[in-house]
Each structure stands twice: as C-alpha cells, then as structure tokens.
Amino acid sequence: MDFPIPLHSPILLAPMAGYTDSPFRRIARLFGAGMVFTELLSADGIVRQNKKTLDLLTITPHERPIGIQIFGNDPIIMQEAACRLLSHNPDCIDINCGCCAPKVCNSGKGAGLLKDVELLHRIASAVVRSVSIPVSAKIRLGFTTGTQNYMEVVDALQQAGVAFITVHGRTRDQYYSGKADWDKIAAIVQRAKVPIVGNGDIASYMDALNKLQTSGCSAVMIGRAALGNPWIFSGTTPTIKEKQTIIKLHYTHMHEQYGPYGIILMRKHIVHYLKGFTGASKLRQEIIKCETIEEIFGILDILCDKKA
C-alpha cells in the first residue's frame, strides 16, 4: 500500500517525550530514518501560545519529512492547534492516542481516547477537515488487556479520513512491559484500508526488516532502541571513533539550540551512548561533572586515544 508521504526508508523514528527534539531528530535523519516525529505537544499549549510548548516546535530542513504529534480531548482545540501548526510546514499532523502517562491519559487524552471511540472519531474528523496535509494517528491495542478495541479504533480513524495509523502492539496498562503483539499488528494490516506502521520491541535494523516482512506493515517505527544508537537506522556497527564523532555532533547540536543548558539536557542521551563502553559508569560521572563542551570533548578524545 502506498505511503502518503515519500519515504527514503520504511524505518521511522517514534515520537518520544523528552527525547525527540530537533538535535536528536537531525541525528536520526543523518543515519537514514525515513521520517521523524516531534515529541507529543499539547494542543491546549499550542492554542494558548505556551512558550514551553512552542519552544518544542524548532524544525530545521535536515529533519524532513517530519510529523508534528499533538494530544488533547477537545475537537475544537485540536482543530485549531492543527491549523496553527501549518505555519511550521509539517509533512503530517499526528494525533496521539497512545501515551500511557497518567497525567495525560487520566484526563481522557492520549491513550485515554481509546476508551471513547466516538470522541476520538470526532477529534480525528475535525483535524482532517481543518488541514490539507496528511493526518495520522498513533494508537495502542486498547486501554487495558481486557478491552482491546483496536479494530473498532482503526475503523473509526479510517472513517475520519486519516492517511495512516501507527500501532504500538501493547495496551495502555502494559506500559512497556511484556512483549509487543505483532500478530495483532499483522491482523490490523490485513483489515486496514490505510497504511499501517508497526511499533514495539524493534531492537535492531535486521529486526526492523524482519517485522516489516512478517507483519506486512508499510513501515515500522523505532523508539527506545534508537536512544544512543542512531546506527539502528542504517544497520551499521560504529567504531569507537565513529561513536565519538556522533556524540560530539549531538553535543554541538544541543549547545547550538539550548546554549550551555544543552550540556545538561544531553545527560539523558550520553547515558545511552556510553552503554557497552568499558568503565561506562565512571566515564559518565566524569562527563556529567563537566561544565563546558570543550571539557567533554577532551574526555572523549582521551577515551578514543586509549582505544586506538
């Protein structure tokens, strides 16, 4: 089934709160991610012009194609937010129906929408009507393991006119425990009339290709496994020197976007980049103490010299 957005690769970067900002999206695209997504953005925050929300809308040409993901539970606000986002020229607007964070879904947003399919249909319909670009939705199999209404949800979204649907193969109450159910994702593909993107437990490039083939999905989406490992999008294994180069590039992007505070924000990424390094814990502590990007680069240079 043709994907509504031209892709150089069917392996996409998933939206991840606190992680998929512009610097990380640029790194993912550099290594071949077919498409990237912003972290979930509050429709209310967009409409109210909340500075923290708007700051998350920094997009560079190097990130395209890009989808902007929004969440909310009011059709009118979601519609207005989608219209406001058009000034940023996204390639699609993605409706979040899968976030399992209590502060989101307990108010009927994110995965909370799975409990009210009629409201979800109204929201998706409103957004689709309001914009001329593709609208997508990211869902889970259901709110609980006992209420897996994914076929009903998919039907409602298709009727609303969405261009594609991403399915995370877990329910909301599973969070990220257990295993993603790719058999159910494959069953959705067989029934769906729009492209389906599969998501959940993809641990490597070859794993992504295998799940593409066995599920019949039009694309697959990688989330947590891409943290500290953008090479997952290219299927290559980096040398220590190559890892050093990309860590430096990521730090540079963070510093350019956030100033000195970018060094602090980078801490959550460096934890992932250093996994597997000899003495990773000690190295991480040394880097965390650094106050300048030059100090960090010095430590990385020493590390590479030792490994050479």
189-208 confidence digits (pLDDT tens): 999 999 999 999 999 999 99
Q: Which residues contact 168 (CB under 8 A, 6 or more apart)?
A: 98, 138, 139, 140, 141, 180, 199, 200
> Which residues face 68 on adjacent strands?
93
Q: What is the DSSP string of 74-126?
A: -HHHHHHHHHHHGGG--SEEEEEE----HHHHTTT-GGGGGG-HHHHHHHHHH
And the tokens for 53? 């929300």
Give CA–CA dist 132/194, Å, rounded: 17
Question: For residues 111, 179, 182 and 124, what is the CA-based torsion angle, rounded to 10 degrees?
Answer: 10
Dihedral sign from CA coordinates of 16, 134, 186, 113? positive
Q: Which of 12, 86, 29 is nearest to 253 (CA)?
A: 29
User: What pLDDT, in 10s, does the model give residues 4-55?
Assistant: 999 999 999 999 999 999 999 999 999 999 999 999 999 999 999 999 999 9
SS (H, E, C) 223-270: CHHHCCCHHHHCCCCCCHHHHHHHHHHHHHHHHHHHCCHHHHHCHHHH
Residues that are catalytic? 99
pLDDT > 70? residue 308 = no
Give CA–CA dist 210/294, Å, rounded: 42
In angstroms, what CA-CA distances link 41 with 60, 96, 263?
A: 17, 9, 23
User: What pLDDT, in 10s, does the model give residues 124-167?
Assistant: 999 999 999 999 999 999 999 999 999 999 999 999 999 999 99
Q: Where are the domains of the chain?
A: 11-233, 240-307
Structure confidence at residue 276 (pLDDT): 77
In 10 A of CB 173, how many CB atoms?
15
And the tokens for 238? 């980096």
State what percent of residues in the chain have pLDDT above 70.
99
pLDDT > 90? residue 279 = no
From 88-102, 128-142, 292-306, the region with the lowest mean pLDDT: 292-306
CB 199 within 8 A of CB 212: no
pLDDT band with cut points at 50, 70 and 90 for residue 277? confident
Does 3.40.50.261 match the CATH number of domain 11-233? no
